[in-house]
Protein backbone atom coordinates (compact mmCIF):
# COMPACT_ATOMS: atom_id res chain seq x y z
CA UNK A 1 0.00 0.00 0.00
CA UNK A 2 1.31 3.45 -0.87
CA UNK A 3 1.85 6.18 1.68
CA UNK A 4 -1.15 8.08 0.35
CA UNK A 5 -3.26 4.92 0.65
CA UNK A 6 -2.18 4.52 4.25
CA UNK A 7 -3.07 8.16 4.88
CA UNK A 8 -6.57 7.67 3.43
CA UNK A 9 -7.01 4.44 5.41
CA UNK A 10 -5.96 6.25 8.60
CA UNK A 11 -8.46 9.07 7.99
CA UNK A 12 -11.26 6.60 7.25
CA UNK A 13 -10.44 4.60 10.36
CA UNK A 14 -10.54 7.73 12.51
CA UNK A 15 -13.91 8.62 10.98
CA UNK A 16 -15.31 5.17 11.75
CA UNK A 17 -13.91 5.16 15.29
CA UNK A 18 -15.47 8.56 15.93
CA UNK A 19 -18.89 7.05 15.23
CA UNK A 20 -18.49 4.02 17.52
CA UNK A 21 -20.29 4.31 20.84
CA UNK A 22 -20.25 0.78 22.26
CA UNK A 23 -17.33 0.13 24.62
CA UNK A 24 -17.10 -3.48 23.38
CA UNK A 25 -16.47 -2.34 19.78
CA UNK A 26 -13.99 0.28 20.93
CA UNK A 27 -12.13 -2.33 23.02
CA UNK A 28 -12.08 -4.68 20.03
CA UNK A 29 -10.67 -1.87 17.89
CA UNK A 30 -8.04 -1.21 20.56
CA UNK A 31 -7.08 -4.89 20.47
CA UNK A 32 -6.83 -4.83 16.68
CA UNK A 33 -4.71 -1.69 16.79
CA UNK A 34 -2.38 -3.31 19.34
CA UNK A 35 -1.99 -6.31 17.02
CA UNK A 36 -1.12 -3.93 14.17
CA UNK A 37 1.50 -2.28 16.40
CA UNK A 38 3.43 -5.55 16.68
CA UNK A 39 6.59 -5.28 18.76
CA UNK A 40 6.05 -1.54 19.26
CA UNK A 41 2.72 -2.13 21.03
CA UNK A 42 4.02 -1.44 24.53
CA UNK A 43 5.83 1.76 23.62
CA UNK A 44 2.99 3.13 21.49
CA UNK A 45 0.34 2.17 24.07
CA UNK A 46 2.32 3.94 26.79
CA UNK A 47 2.50 7.13 24.72
CA UNK A 48 -1.21 6.90 23.86
CA UNK A 49 -2.10 6.36 27.52
CA UNK A 50 -0.08 9.40 28.58
CA UNK A 51 -1.74 11.54 25.93
CA UNK A 52 -5.18 10.22 26.88
CA UNK A 53 -4.69 10.83 30.60
CA UNK A 54 -3.42 14.34 29.92
CA UNK A 55 -6.44 15.27 27.82
CA UNK A 56 -9.35 12.96 28.44
CA UNK A 57 -8.52 12.26 32.08
CA UNK A 58 -8.92 15.88 33.10
CA UNK A 59 -12.14 16.22 31.12
CA UNK A 60 -13.50 13.04 32.71
CA UNK A 61 -12.63 14.23 36.22
CA UNK A 62 -14.35 17.54 35.56
CA UNK A 63 -17.41 15.71 34.23
CA UNK A 64 -17.50 13.47 37.32
CA UNK A 65 -17.18 16.48 39.60
CA UNK A 66 -19.99 18.22 37.72
CA UNK A 67 -22.24 15.16 38.10
CA UNK A 68 -21.42 14.97 41.80
CA UNK A 69 -22.13 18.69 42.20
CA UNK A 70 -25.55 18.31 40.59
CA UNK A 71 -26.29 15.19 42.62
CA UNK A 72 -26.72 13.00 39.56
CA UNK A 73 -25.27 9.52 39.11
CA UNK A 74 -22.10 9.63 37.00
CA UNK A 75 -22.53 8.37 33.42
CA UNK A 76 -19.86 5.68 33.69
CA UNK A 77 -20.81 4.00 30.41
CA UNK A 78 -20.42 7.22 28.47
CA UNK A 79 -17.13 8.04 30.21
CA UNK A 80 -15.78 4.57 29.44
CA UNK A 81 -16.76 4.85 25.77
CA UNK A 82 -15.35 8.38 25.44
CA UNK A 83 -12.02 7.48 27.06
CA UNK A 84 -11.68 4.28 25.03
CA UNK A 85 -12.39 6.27 21.86
CA UNK A 86 -9.73 8.85 22.70
CA UNK A 87 -7.23 6.11 23.61
CA UNK A 88 -7.91 4.24 20.36
CA UNK A 89 -7.57 7.40 18.26
CA UNK A 90 -4.34 8.35 20.04
CA UNK A 91 -2.92 4.84 19.52
CA UNK A 92 -3.88 4.90 15.84
CA UNK A 93 -2.26 8.30 15.46
CA UNK A 94 1.00 7.21 17.10
CA UNK A 95 0.99 4.05 14.96
CA UNK A 96 0.39 6.14 11.82
CA UNK A 97 3.22 8.53 12.68
CA UNK A 98 5.58 5.63 13.38
CA UNK A 99 4.83 3.74 10.17
CA UNK A 100 4.02 6.35 7.50
CA UNK A 101 6.24 8.95 5.88
CA UNK A 102 4.05 12.05 6.09
CA UNK A 103 6.05 13.90 3.47
CA UNK A 104 5.30 11.20 0.90
CA UNK A 105 1.69 10.86 2.06
CA UNK A 106 1.05 14.59 1.52
CA UNK A 107 3.15 14.93 -1.63
CA UNK A 108 -0.03 15.22 -3.75
CA UNK A 109 -0.67 18.73 -2.36
CA UNK A 110 1.90 21.52 -2.36
CA UNK A 111 0.00 23.46 0.29
CA UNK A 112 -0.30 20.51 2.67
CA UNK A 113 3.38 19.70 2.13
CA UNK A 114 4.27 23.31 2.91
CA UNK A 115 2.15 23.22 6.08
CA UNK A 116 3.84 19.99 7.10
CA UNK A 117 7.28 21.52 6.60
CA UNK A 118 6.24 24.51 8.73
CA UNK A 119 4.85 22.27 11.48
CA UNK A 120 7.91 20.02 11.54
CA UNK A 121 10.31 22.97 11.62
CA UNK A 122 8.35 24.55 14.48
CA UNK A 123 8.27 21.31 16.47
CA UNK A 124 12.01 20.78 15.94
CA UNK A 125 12.69 24.29 17.20
CA UNK A 126 10.47 23.67 20.22
CA UNK A 127 12.20 20.35 20.91
CA UNK A 128 15.61 22.06 20.73
CA UNK A 129 14.46 24.83 23.08
CA UNK A 130 13.11 22.34 25.62
CA UNK A 131 16.35 20.34 25.43
CA UNK A 132 18.30 23.54 26.10
CA UNK A 133 16.12 24.28 29.14
CA UNK A 134 16.71 20.72 30.39
CA UNK A 135 20.47 21.03 29.86
CA UNK A 136 20.43 24.42 31.60
CA UNK A 137 18.79 22.91 34.67
CA UNK A 138 21.25 20.03 34.65
CA UNK A 139 24.29 22.30 34.31
CA UNK A 140 23.20 24.59 37.15
CA UNK A 141 22.56 21.76 39.62
CA UNK A 142 25.52 20.15 41.40
CA UNK A 143 23.40 17.02 41.98
CA UNK A 144 20.22 15.78 40.31
CA UNK A 145 17.46 18.36 40.71
CA UNK A 146 14.63 17.60 43.10
CA UNK A 147 10.99 17.72 42.21
CA UNK A 148 10.61 21.30 43.48
CA UNK A 149 13.48 22.55 41.32
CA UNK A 150 12.13 20.69 38.28
CA UNK A 151 8.67 22.20 38.74
CA UNK A 152 10.20 25.65 39.10
CA UNK A 153 12.29 25.13 35.96
CA UNK A 154 9.24 23.83 34.06
CA UNK A 155 7.25 26.91 35.13
CA UNK A 156 10.03 29.22 33.93
CA UNK A 157 10.24 27.32 30.63
CA UNK A 158 6.46 27.51 30.16
CA UNK A 159 6.47 31.24 30.90
CA UNK A 160 9.30 31.81 28.41
CA UNK A 161 7.53 29.73 25.73
CA UNK A 162 4.26 31.61 26.30
CA UNK A 163 6.06 34.95 26.08
CA UNK A 164 7.79 33.83 22.89
CA UNK A 165 4.49 32.62 21.38
CA UNK A 166 2.84 35.97 22.15
CA UNK A 167 5.74 37.86 20.59
CA UNK A 168 5.61 35.66 17.47
CA UNK A 169 1.84 36.13 17.20
CA UNK A 170 2.24 39.91 17.51
CA UNK A 171 4.90 39.95 14.79
CA UNK A 172 2.73 37.79 12.51
CA UNK A 173 -0.28 40.04 13.08
CA UNK A 174 1.77 43.12 12.25
CA UNK A 175 3.12 41.48 9.11
CA UNK A 176 -0.37 40.46 7.99
CA UNK A 177 -1.73 43.93 8.77
CA UNK A 178 1.02 45.61 6.76
CA UNK A 179 0.06 43.44 3.81
CA UNK A 180 -3.60 44.49 4.05
CA UNK A 181 -5.03 41.26 5.47
CA UNK A 182 -7.07 43.09 8.11
CA UNK A 183 -7.25 46.46 9.81
**Rounded CA separation 49/28 (Å):** 17
Residue 116 maps to a domain: yes
**Span 65-122, pLDDT tens digits:** 999 999 999 888 999 999 999 999 999 999 999 999 999 999 998 888 888 888 888 8
Residue 183 maps to a domain: no
For residues 49 and 122, membership in a common domain is answered with no
For residues 17 and 96, membership in a common domain is answered with yes
**Rounded CA separation 155/159 (Å):** 6
**Domain span at 87:** 3-105
CB atoms within 10 A of CB 88: 27
Residue 146 maps to a domain: yes
For residues 82 and 130, membership in a common domain is answered with no
Q: ∠ CA 100-55-31 to the nearest 5 degrees?
A: 50
- pLDDT beyond 80 at 176: no
Write down the pTM of the prediction.
0.75
Mean pLDDT score, 57-65: 89
Amino acid sequence: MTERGKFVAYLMTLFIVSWLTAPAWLAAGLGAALILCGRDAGRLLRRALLATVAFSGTVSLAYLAHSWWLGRPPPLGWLLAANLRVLLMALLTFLFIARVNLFQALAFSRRLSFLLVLAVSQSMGLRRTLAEFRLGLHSRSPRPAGIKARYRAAAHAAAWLLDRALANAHESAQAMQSRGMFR
